[in-house]
Amino acid sequence: MTKFQPASLVRELADLGVRDVGENRHQEAVAKVAEVDDPRLAWHFVGQLQSNKAKAVRQYAATVHSVDRESLVAALASDDGRVLGAFLEIGLSDEPGRGGVDPQEAESLADRVLAAPGLRLLGVMGVAPLGVEPRRAFARLREVSERVRRVDPSATAISAGMSGDFREAIAEGATHLRIGTAITGNRPIPG
Ligand SMILES: *Cc1c(COP(=O)(O)O)cnc(C)c1O
């Protein structure tokens, strides 16, 4: 994850062999992708996404990790000939409104993605909520992953784990880790 980091840092990472880069704000991402301009990189969009930005994100992102509602699936769908990878963001907090689809609605959202042109369902994504033991949150995510795989056996990916909790995420089957500061050092203060 390179949010708030300059394009120069992304270039350094690319020269060291990094190929997957995560951003969480569209305005910042679109500028950075253009500035870095490196065809070796796959860009991952990992954040709150407004439906009116969805088509623009398709232009530069290989994968979106934050598909959390049917209206966003519809906005991301396209027959432009490209295939965008999609993770369903699963809400792992007991408090409603904390982001992510309700785990009970994961299968129906998966069905929507499967029916949408230009999207490929990769799996599920989750963020361990503050105040919850991360291993417990990721165990819940793994259960949801198992249900989604009954809908689509190829949707095996689990995007989970950040600098502070990637060990717990790996223990619960994470396939895609979203590491920021443990690789880059502290983020600059956002401007
Ligand atoms: C920023 C971010 C990360 C990376 O966090 P670090 O603590 O810097 O590793 C992971 N996931 C999401 C959704 C993020 O926004």
Mean pLDDT per 10-residue interval, the chain, length 191 residues:
97 98 98 98 97 97 98 98 97 84 98 98 97 96 98 98 98 98 88 57
Q: Does the Cβ of 24 fall within 6 Å of ligand 1?
A: yes
- Which atom of ligand 1 sits closest to the CA of residue 163? 9
Nearest CA to ligand 1 atom 4: 180
Q: Name 58's Cβ contacts closer than 8 Å, sequence gap at least 6.
A: 76, 78, 80, 82, 84, 118
**Identity of residue 136:** R
Q: Mapping DSSP to helix (H, G, I), strand (E, B) and coil, where does residue 122 land?
A: strand
- Which atom of ligand 1 sits closest to the CA of residue 166? 9
Domain boundaries, the chain: 7-183
- Which atom of ligand 1 sits closest to the CA of residue 1? 4
According to the model, what pLDDT value does residue 190 have? 66
CA of 59 to the centre of ligand 1 (A): 23
The CATH number of domain 7-183, selected from 3.50.50.60, 3.20.20.10, 3.40.50.300, 3.90.550.10: 3.20.20.10
Q: Does the Cβ of 1 fall within 6 Å of ligand 1?
A: yes
According to the model, what pLDDT value does residue 180 have? 97
The overall pTM is greater than 0.85: yes
Nearest CA to ligand 1 atom 8: 180
Containing H/E element for 121? strand 119-126
According to the model, what pLDDT value does residue 94 have? 81
Q: Longest C-alpha distance within the chain, in Å?
A: 44
Question: Which residue intervals of 16-117 are DSSP H helices?
Answer: 26-36, 54-60, 70-76, 106-115
